[in-house]
Structure 1
Amino acid sequence: MLDETMKTQLKGYLERVVRPIEIAARVDGSENAREMMALLNDIVPLSDRITLTEHRAADNERAPSFSLTSPGVDIHLTFAGLPMGHEFTSLVLALLQVGGYPPKVEQALIDQIKALDGDYTFETYFSQSCQNCPDVVQALNLMAVLNPRVKHVAVDGALFQSEVETRQVMSVPTVYLNGAVFGQGRMDAEQIVAKLDTGANDRAAERIKTMEAFDVLVVGGGPAGAAAAIYAARKGIRTGVAAERFGGQVLDTMGIENFISVPYTEGPKLAAALEQHVKSYDVEVMNLQRAVKLIPGDVVEVQLANGASLRSKTVILSTGARWRQMGVPGEEAYRNKGVAYCPHCDGPLFKGKRVAVIGGGNSGVEAAIDLAGIVAHVTLIEFDVKLRADDVLQRKLRSLPNVTVITSAKTTEVTGDGQKVTGLVYEDRAGGEVHRIALEGIFVQIGLLPNTEWLKGTLDLSPRGEILVDDRGQTSVPGVFAAGDCTTVPYKQIVIAMGEGSKAGLAAFDHLIRTSAPAATAEAKVA
């Protein structure tokens, strides 16, 4: 199951284990169970602290599955299925943490997890191709290691299709808590704990209220925001970052192959590196903070959703963008019930089914190509008279036997049975005919929408809602700068956002120098 290179690397990691690890496997005689046991049998010889037991699963037990624990330590951590692909890292971290290796998280979060008062049984449905799932799995595994009242089972949705169908899981990661849906989409430990610890938000707000004004406050934690914070902090000025989720849209990006000097990386890995780099400087990072109002002035005020406010001499807006929605009846009602926005994450849940992709740009065509290898049939629907994707992608798409391309089509409705998607309705823009397509999934890939609604009426925006900036990143409000996908700067790319963020950080510093310089005296003017 594991090649020699992976075994060597894993053996090196397992040397950090300080206490015994017991793996209890439950099997059912299936090929999936044999693959799981092959993986576990590859792992056990890599450390003399690991033991493995195997038994036939009872009727009420998931199989194949295995649990990790340590003698004398109350840990309830289980993988149901095969944690390979993106989830192999989750398995490695689980082994280390169960084996007593300290987690690389802030002590304040560890204390908060240990202090949770309640009994929490979590179940996370993941797919091996989902880049957002490991964050959730790893967070809940960590919580299960630190707090005996937290139990966690990570379930491979592709292997437990009957559960997926019964619970109508149509988006990953989907998390259940004590049998009820707790959340969907990417979450880290800080976000999960904040939902459980109801007083955390109030405590964060009280702490923010006591903060002195910053020299530079960055709103947003994506590539542009991270670069702005680093460039500002390097000037030795008081710098803060307030972000809803550090990493921004990069966290939802699968493969990154055009980040100069790095041939390939993945969004979550890059986002983690950005955060680590920012925190290596003296930057106050305030995560899980959503800005709701900007109040200009000599000292700019940014009001937050939790009721607190931050003040700063300059502000850099880097709030990024989000997936654009179709805005048709049924879309919101069936979001995560067949309407999806991440083909890499959710595609495996539609294995053997019929799906549609909305959008004929590079993102839409790439999604259709990826999905065609999983699902029974893909219908790609494009509003324009022709696809806008690169020619090489179009040629690949049209070579696939299970793909239908429809152009000059306007999607007008998502249909469903009250619980899940059953189809969509589109209008032929040329002839006006209305058509219905029966399908189980719809993947929307129609571009981005800037996160700037909260700024309307405060500074100048373009008709598309983008922040108008000059060549220095200056907005229409003195002392307020902007960078990245939320601005009018063309070409929404990670490397461009970083450059614009760096420029905004330097421009903010320059603004501080010029506005804080003492006025010239009358004698100096005469001289």
Structure 2
Amino acid sequence: MLDADLKTQLKAYLERVVHPIEIVSHNDGSAKGKEMAALLEDIRSLSDKITVVEGQDSAARKPSFDINRKGSDIGVSFAGIPLGHEFTSLVLALLQVGGHPIKLDEKVIEQIRNLDGDFVFETFISLSCHNCPEVVQALNAMSVINPRIKVVAIDGGVFPKEVEERQVMAVPMMYLNGQHFGQGRTNVEEILARLDTGASARAAAELSKKDVFDVLIVGGGPAGAASAIYTARKGIRTGVIADRFGGQVLDTLSIENFISVKETDGQKFAVALEQHVKEYEVDIMNTQRAVKLVPGKVKEVHTESGAVLKAKTVIISTGARWREINVPGEREYRNHGVAYCPHCDGPLFKGKRVAVIGGGNSGVEAAIDLAGIVDHVTLIEFGAELRADAVLQRKLATLRNVKVIKSAQTTEIHGDGKKVNSLSYTDRNTGDTHRVELEGVFVQIGLVPNTEWLKGTVDLSRHGEIEVDARGQTSVSGVFAAGDVTTVPYKQIVIAVGEGAKAALGAFDHLIRSSDDESELAAAA
């Protein structure tokens, strides 16, 4: 099942197992069942602390398996074969159930341990989803810390009937005690905030007590990380608040154009960013979303949780998100046929008909990827010609199950009240309206800056981007901005990193040239 190199690596990891592990297999003898049996046998052969037994009960899902710590009620479950992006989740589950320390802040671990209640999480995933492992790994870790939390990760490709019955059309999709809990990339802190309703208020109160920062960076993507490193290296008090550290890069599958790094993926890149920032004395405050900026000698940043943070200078690097087409039916059927990540959600549409809206690089790449999974792809482009690179257009032209419609404006996404069933568009040349019968719509029309919270505070372009000068300075003194959120052209990771460094240097220069002395600032605070 596993190749020799993977076995060697896994064997080395399993040497860290402290407590004996019993893997309980629930097999149905199917092809997938045999594949799972081979995987479990490989794992068993690599450690004398691991045994595999056949389950004696009638499991709800087969093939599936439980990883249990012998002599305890600690364990996690997988329904399917966790390979692909989920192989790391499997390895971590073995280590953590086996007693290897969980890398979470002690306060977070204590908060998980003290949760009162019984929680049963079911998470639907696809093995090609690069967002799913964070959710699976977060819930698995929580289950090991608090055995009253039971978890199972379900491969939607292995259990299509259940996917259809529950109308799962986006992953990761979480259910708690049988009820929908949430979807999309989610970390431990975000899950905890929903389970422990008082946690957010307590955290906000603690954050508001923090002293004035020399520089407060809002956003934890490439631009924000670069800003933090540059300001921390100057020896000034630096803080970072981020909705999720890594930002939009977490939704990037492959990165092959960051100079000196031949190839990586978004999740690895985001982890590397955070690890680099943590090499310095930077106060990182995760799961905090800014909602208001109050200018002044000492600036205030208010968060959604109610915290108020103060700083002498602020660098805004809140990035961008997927742009919506804003037509009837889009929001109503989001995650019920309307999707924005073909890598994550594409496998859920296997054998079905889908549309991709957008003829740029992202749209054409999505159509190419989906063509290998779905029955048929209709690519809809607003302009008279596709805008993607020539090499991508040539590849697209070779695919027989892809139809390209140009000069077309999507006007509505239709559904039956539960899921998408068609799409309407207008031919921009003739004015005629057409309807395409399908089961999924993937929107790929670019990004929109995350600046709604700044309207009326800093100058924005007509596209909502923050206007900055050559130093990253905004229209507000002492407030800088960097990355995809600004008017700087060409939204690329390497450019965001450079702009983040530049904004940091601009903020530092502002601090040392400011005529306000420390006593004035302290009084203003």
1:341 maps to 2:340: yes
Tell me the CA shift for residue 54 of structure 1. Answer: 2.2
Deviations along 1:306-347, one digit per CA (max 9) or x if unpaired, are 222111000000000000000000000000000000000000
Aligned to 1:232, the other structure's residue is in SS state: helix
User: What is residue 39 of structure 2 aligned with on the other side?
Assistant: 39
Query: Counterpart in 1 of 2:26?
Result: 26
Any conservation in 2 of the 1:27–1:56 contact (CA below 8 Å)?
A: no
Runs of 4+ in structure 1 off by over 4 angstroms are 516-519
- The question of whether the paired residues in 2 share the 8 Å contact of 1:173 and 1:186 is answered with yes
1:76, distance to aligned residue in structure 2 (A): 3.6
Distance 2:393 2:454 in 1: 38
Structure 2 CA distance for partners of 1:351 and 1:236, relative to 1, 3 Å: same
Corresponding residue number in structure 2 for 1:4:
4
Name the SS for the 1:124 alignment partner.
strand
Q: 1:57, CA displacement in angstroms?
A: 6.7
Deviations 1:458-515 (A, max 9, x none): 1111110000011110111110000000001111011110110011111111110111
SS of 2:235's equivalent? coil
- Residues 310-321 of structure 1 correspond to what in structure 2 (within 5 A)? 310-321=309-320
Structure 2: stretches of 5+ with no match in the other structure: 519-525
Tell me: CA distance 1:199–1:250, structure 2 relative to 1, closer, same or farther (3 Å): same
SS at structure 2 position matched to 1:263 = coil
* 8 A contact 1:121–1:178 mirrored in 2: yes
Which secondary structure state, in structure 2, belongs to the residue aligned with residue 315 of structure 1?
strand
Kept after mapping to 1: 8 A contact 2:220/2:240: yes
Q: Which amino acid aligns with 2:295?
A: P
**2: CA distance between counterparts of 1:274 and 1:105?**
17
Q: Which amino acid aligns with 1:16?
A: R
Aligned to 2:291: 292
The answer to whether the 8 A contact 1:78-1:152 is kept is yes
In the alignment, is the contact (CA less than 8 A) between 1:28 and 1:57 conserved in 2?
no
Say whether the 8 Å CA contact 2:171–2:184 is kept in structure 1.
Answer: yes
Residue in 2 that maps onto 1:173:
172
Cα distance in 2 for partners of 1:431, 1:56 equals: 66
Q: Is the 8 A contact 1:28 1:56 kept in 2?
A: no
- Whole-angstrom distance in 2 between the partners of 1:111 and 1:166: 37
For 2:63 and 2:517, how far apart are their aligned partners in 1? 72
Residue 525 of structure 1: aligned partner? none
Amino acid at match of 1:240: G
Q: Pick closer, same or farther for the CA change 1:57–1:391 going to 2, 3 Å.
A: farther
RMSD: 1.2
Give the SS at the match of 2:314.
strand
- Contact 1:27/1:57 (CA < 8 Å) preserved in 2? no
Give the conservation status (yes or no) of the 8 Å contact 1:76–1:150: no
1:106 CA drift (Å):
1.1
User: Does 2:503 align with 1:500?
Assistant: no
1:451-462 matched pairs, under 5 angstroms:
451-462=450-461
Q: What letter is aligned with 1:483?
A: A
SS of aligned partner of 2:514: helix
Paired position in structure 2 for 1:523: none
SS in 2 for 1:311: strand
In the other structure, the counterpart of 2:521 is none
Q: How does 1:57-456 map to 2 (within 5 A)?
A: 58=58, 60-456=59-455
For 1:13, the equivalent position in structure 2 comes to 13
Which range is displaced more, 358-367 or 188-197? 188-197
SS of 1:74's equivalent in the other structure is coil
**SS of alignment partner, residue 33 of structure 1:** helix
User: Which segment is superposed worse, 387-396 or 275-284?
Assistant: 275-284
Q: Is the 8 A contact 1:218 1:242 kept in 2?
A: yes
Quote how far apart the aligned CAs of 1:413 are. 0.1
Aligned to 1:261, the other structure's residue is in SS state coil
Displacement of 1:55 after TM fit?
Answer: 4.3
Cα distance per residue 1:227-281 (max 9 Å; x no partner) = 1011111111110001111111011111111111111111111111111211221
C-alpha separation in 2, matches of 1:305 and 1:517: 30
Contact 1:424/1:436 (<8 A) preserved? yes
Q: 1:522: which partner in 2? A: none
Assess, with a 3 A threshold, how the Cα gap between structure 1 residues 198 and 518 changes in structure 2: closer, same or farther: closer
Segment of structure 1 superposing worse, 386-395 or 305-314: 305-314
Structure 1: where are the runs of 5+ without partners?
A: 520-527
- Count of residues in correspondence between the two structures: 518
Aligned to 2:522: none
State the Cα deviation string for residues 37-89 of structure 1 (Å, max 9, x = none): 1111111111110001124772x521000000111221241000010000000
- Amino acid across the alignment from 2:42: D
Q: One-letter code of the match for 1:325? A: E
CA displacement 1:391-430 (0-9 Å, x = unmatched): 1100100100100000000000000000000010000000
On the 8 A contact 2:75/2:97 being kept in 1, the answer is: no
CA distance in 1 between counterparts of 2:135 and 2:517 reads: 52
Distance in 2, Cα, partners of 1:65 & 1:306: 39
